[in-house]
């Protein structure tokens, strides 16, 4: 999966989390819904590689294979969450009252769409 797509998925998760937090504050609703758990599961299913492990692989060979295959996907996820966090933190730290977290995430999603395939762009502040 391209980094820009991973970033857009992460933005979707953060947006859903913000909506969930607002619902709790407004309605006192508790506990995650299936759709909120499902979006995270879908992201993991789409970003984590399917690994074929030979039947005769030793435990060390299996560990090396899993680490090599899963490592790249984990780096993609960490990079996307880190970029989103930094974009949100920069706006927070600037004290800009006219910019909501939803606005920041929307802007980041638009930049991810423009950069398709180039990897995440540094947040502008």
Predicted confidence (pLDDT) per residue in 6-54, tens digit: 898 889 888 888 887 787 788 776 655 555 567 778 888 888 888 999 9
- 86 in Cβ contact with 107 (< 8 Å): no
Cα 97 → chain centroid: 25
Verdict on whether the full-model pTM lies above 0.85: no
Query: Which candidate, 6, 14, 15, places its Cα nearest to that of 77?
Result: 6
| pLDDT for 114 | 86
- DSSP code of residue 31: S
Which residue, 125, 10, 12, 18, is CA-closest to 79? 10
Q: Please, are residues 119 and 4 in contact by the beta-carbon 8 Å criterion? A: yes
Q: According to the model, what pLDDT value does residue 40 have?
A: 79
């Amino acid at each position: 999966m391209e980094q820009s797509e991973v970033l857009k998925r992460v933005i979707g998760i953060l947006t859903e989390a913000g909506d969930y937090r607002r619902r709790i504050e407004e309605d006192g609703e508790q506990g995650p819904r299936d759709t909120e758990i499902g979006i995270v599961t879908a992201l993991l299913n789409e970003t984590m590689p399917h690994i074929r492990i030979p039947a005769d692989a030793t435990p060390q060979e299996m560990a090396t294979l899993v680490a090599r295959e899963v490592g790249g996907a984990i780096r993609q996820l960490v990079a996307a969450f880190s970029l989103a966090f930094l974009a949100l933190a920069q706006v927070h730290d600037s004290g800009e009252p006219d910019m909501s977290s939803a606005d920041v995430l929307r802007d980041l999603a638009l930049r991810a769409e423009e950069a398709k395939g180039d990897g995440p762009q540094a947040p502008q502040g």
